């Protein structure tokens, strides 16, 4: 019996020592850090991860490697991180759709965003543009809403997946309008559909929309940000255009597995905040039509909770089903 107790004590001490070694912020980082991305190389989230990765490496003193885990509507990527050791060496490049809309579309997710992940910092945000085909007889948002109501047979909207379907549904709810939503395989396909008139309107990312906007092939009616975008100062905000309670921005942030020591979370958070405040990073983000953020972990957590609740309401009201 005494030997058994001694053996149990030794095991407990060993496990305690391992846990302390993993959780000691003074030892962090002790090996390369990986940022897990839920889409293939070359996508928007991947681009942001690879933009900030080298700078994180400089700040933290270890290589930062981007690991792409596409598929399963980002569920594979999230699970990869939630199952990783909570030691700060595995991070998730999280997005609004992945973490706040998916929970409403997939009630049986194998993880819980707020329970199984620790928000670190929102790296950047990117407002959406409400745009119409350039030949449409529509110059502003009130005219768009009137047109949608008067011509339900022509009220076509499009986008590249659930994020754009859900945000379009929010627009319908806020304006009392209705659209027929069509899903495209890529942002490029969505833009082509809008330019040639297959769809009347779309809520699209600033980046993919910039070329067609400059060429006059689509018309911007509003941006969904709370304030005007510096690169498009003449385009009103959605609130200025008359649509209330629809200020929203897509975002990309870093998250760690639940249980990651607060001191490690704070260290990564502070590194992100310092990086996005540099002139170099701000210029690079400006060229990509994205806005630097660098939030605190607590602010990120509050935003996640708020958006999860909001999108759950929109999905339920719109009876939106997950894409199979």
Q: Peptide bond preceding 29: is omega within 30 degrees of 0, i.e. cis?
A: yes
Fold that domain 33-125+249-318 belongs to in CATH: D-Maltodextrin-Binding Protein; domain 2 (3.40.190)
Q: Residue 243: pLDDT above 90?
A: yes
| Residue 323: band (very low, low, confident or very high) from pLDDT cuts 50, 70, 90 | low
Q: Where in the chain is the domain with CATH 3.40.190.150?
A: 33-125+249-318
Eight-class DSSP state of 69: -
- Give Cα separations from 16 to 20, 29, 227, 307 (angstroms): 6, 20, 50, 37
Lowest mean pLDDT among 51-65, 70-84, 177-191, 298-312: 177-191
User: Given this model, what pLDDT does residue 70 score?
Assistant: 92
Quick one: fold of 127-223? D-Maltodextrin-Binding Protein; domain 2 (3.40.190)
Mean pLDDT (whole number) for 153-157: 94
Paired tokens of 258: 């639940």
CATH 3.40.190.10 in the chain: give the residue spans: 127-223
Residue 36 forms beta bridges with which residues? 67, 92
Could you tell me which of 52, 26, 226, 215 has the C-alpha nearest to residue 124? 52
Map tokens 């991860």 to a residue.
49
What pLDDT digit, counting tens, does each position of 73-113 carry?
Answer: 899 999 999 999 999 999 999 999 999 999 999 989 999 99
CA 153 to mean position of chain CA atoms? 32
Quote the CA–CA distance of 70 and 215 in Å, as a whole number. 33
Three-state DSSP at 233 gives: coil
Tell me how far apart the alpha carbons of residues 32 and 77 are, in angstroms, rounded to a whole number.
18
What's the mean pLDDT in 267-287? 97
At residue 293's C-alpha, the angle toward residues 88 and 75, to 5°, is 50
Side-chain half-sphere CA neighbours of 255 within 13 A: 35
Element (H, E) at 38: none
pTM for the predicted model, two decimal places: 0.88
């Amino acid at each position: 019996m005494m030997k058994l107790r001694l053996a149990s004590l030794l095991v407990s001490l060993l496990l305690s020592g391992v846990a302390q070694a993993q959780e000691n912020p003074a030892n962090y980082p002790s090996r390369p850090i990986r940022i897990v991305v839920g889409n293939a190389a070359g996508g928007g989230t991947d681009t942001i991860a690879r933009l900030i990765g080298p700078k994180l490496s400089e700040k933290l003193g270890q290589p930062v490697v981007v690991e792409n885990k596409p598929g399963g509507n980002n569920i594979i990527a999230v699970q990869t991180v939630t199952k990783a050791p909570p030691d700060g060496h595995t991070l998730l490049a999280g997005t609004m759709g992945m973490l706040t809309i998916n929970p409403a579309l997939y009630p049986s997710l194998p993880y819980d965003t707020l329970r199984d992940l620790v928000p670190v910092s929102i790296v950047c945000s990117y407002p959406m543009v409400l745009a119409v085909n350039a030949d449409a007889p529509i110059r502003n948002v009130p005219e768009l809403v009137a047109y949608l109501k008067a011509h339900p047979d022509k009220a076509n909207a499009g986008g590249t997946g659930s994020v754009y379907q859900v945000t379009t549904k929010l627009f319908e709810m806020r304006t009392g309008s209705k659209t027929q939503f069509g899903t495209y395989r890529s942002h490029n396909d969505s833009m082509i559909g809008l330019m040639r008139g297959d769809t009347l309107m779309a809520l699209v990312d600033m980046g993919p929309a910039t070329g067609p906007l400059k060429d006059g092939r689509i018309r911007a009616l509003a941006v969904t940000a709370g304030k005007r975008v510096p690169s498009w100062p003449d385009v009103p905000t959605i609130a200025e255009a008359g649509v209330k309670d629809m200020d929203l921005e897509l975002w990309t942030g870093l998250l760690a597995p639940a249980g990651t020591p607060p001191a490690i979370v704070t260290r990564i958070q502070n590194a992100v905040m310092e990086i996005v405040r540099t002139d170099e990073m701000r210029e690079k983000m400006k060229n990509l039509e994205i806005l630097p953020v660098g939030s605190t972990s607590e602010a990120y957590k509050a935003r996640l909770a708020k958006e999860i609740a909001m999108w759950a309401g929109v999905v339920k009201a719109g009876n939106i089903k997950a894409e199979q």
